[in-house]
Amino acid sequence: MSSVAEYTFCETFEVTADVKRDFDEYGYILLRGVLDKEELSMIEQTIKGSDAINKHLYYENEYEGKKTDKVMWSHPGTDVTGMVSRSKKIAGIMEKLLGGEVYHYHSKLMMKEGGVGARHVWHQDYGYWYHNGCLFPDMGTVFVAIDPCRKENSCLQILRGSHKCGRIEHRPVKQQYAVDEARRVEIAKFCPHHYVEMEAGDVIYFHCNLIHSSSDNTSDKRRWAFLTAYNRASNNPTKEHHHPRYTPLHQVPNSAIKECTNYTDMDGKIFLDLKRDYTIKTNFQKHDQA
């Protein structure tokens, strides 16, 4: 494990000038121990107990015989997962890293079961979001490890500092976007390839242009992760699409997570529906024809 851009969370943690410098230099920070066992248990209880979450699980296309179950929603809501996405230690930290007011762009669960979880090809999140009318890469993702993430069960892989290369051309690969491979190989000569191994409750905050991937889960252990994407309020998308335009985010204190008793009411989240949210497929088709 690397100690580059790595910190340990406590309730007095602040995004200092050094923390912000690491984010700007490397494209991420890794913060250990952001969520404790009780908070992780509450998230898992919500996932398993919500009919709405289970109803909206999907996978796009199997990737070489493997698949990753996913569920995605537009607004945080008032359940446990919503409190996590609205908390100061998640949204508040990302707001300071991005340097301005943020709003909830979307959240998702990525559920890679042991032996069957599919890879995610090398890509930038802005490779997707660019096509949604987001003019500036003032965006980022917070990846919360629900389970331990290791090489063998598909931990996140990054090219450290690759966000400085700007947006790279992407091409559709089995309902995913992949960065131009020849260019990625050249970038990797300057931006070190790093396996981000994490314990449950660790969190990585990363820039939307950081090139990253994850492998197939070939182990016998699942790898569940909860991700929330944020967009700067000043970067309001120029067109309607399957993620929301600027919607004020009402942040809550960290204590709101454990105080939350809502495990089942998902009202207001607006789950992704592949039949209804046609702009996902439209973006792929347009890009494929370009």
User: What's the 3-state SS for the chain?
Assistant: CCCCCEEECCCCCCCCHHHHHHHHHHCEEEEECCCCHHHHHHHHHHHHHCHHHHHCCECCCCECCECCEEEEECCCCCCHHHHHHHEHHHHHHHHHHHCCCEEEEEEEEEEECCCCCCCEEEECHHHHHHHHCCCCCCEEEEEEECCCECCCCCCEEEECCHHHHCCCCEEEECCEEEECHHHHHHHHCCCCEEEECECCCCEEEEECCCCEEECCCCCCCCEEEEEEEEEEHHHCCCCCCCCCCCCCCCCECCHHHHHCCCCCCCCCCCECCCCCCCHHHHHHHHHHHC
- Domain-located, residue 48: yes
pLDDT at residue 86, rounded to an integer: 98
At residue 72's C-alpha, the angle toward residues 101 and 117, to 5°, is 125
**224 near 112, Cβ under 8 Å?**
yes
pLDDT at residue 201, rounded to an integer: 98
Domain span at 26: 6-289
In the numeric block, which tokens belong to residue 123? 């890509």
pLDDT tens digits, the chain, 290 residues: what are they? 557 999 999 999 999 999 999 999 999 999 999 999 999 999 999 999 999 999 999 875 566 788 999 999 999 999 999 999 999 999 999 999 999 999 999 999 999 999 999 999 999 999 999 999 999 999 999 999 999 999 999 999 999 999 999 999 999 887 788 999 999 999 999 999 999 999 999 999 999 999 999 999 999 999 999 999 999 999 999 999 999 999 999 999 999 999 999 999 999 999 998 777 656 654 544 543 32
- pTM for the structure as a whole: 0.95
pLDDT at residue 64, rounded to an integer: 75
Q: How many domains does the chain have?
A: 1
Distance CA 289, CA 87 (A): 41
- Domain-located, residue 226: yes
pLDDT at residue 176, rounded to an integer: 84
Residue labelled with tokens 């494209």: 27
The one-letter code for the residue type at 201 is G
For residue 261, the tally of other CB atoms under 10 A from its CB is 9
**105 near 141, Cβ under 8 Å?**
no
- Domain-located, residue 67: yes
Q: Which residues, including other chains, have CB under 8 Å from residue 62's CB and lie 6 or more apart?
A: 118
- Domain-located, residue 29: yes
**165 near 213, Cβ under 8 Å?**
no
pLDDT at residue 61, rounded to an integer: 57
- Domain-located, residue 104: yes
Specify the CATH number for the domain of residue 112.
2.60.120.620
- Dihedral pair phi/psi, residue 58, rounded to 5°: -155, 165
- Dihedral pair phi/psi, residue 131, rounded to 5°: -75, -5
- Domain-located, residue 1: no
pLDDT at residue 290, rounded to an integer: 29
- Nearest partner of 53 among 110, 119, 96, judged by Cα: 110
CA-based radius of gyration for the chain? 18
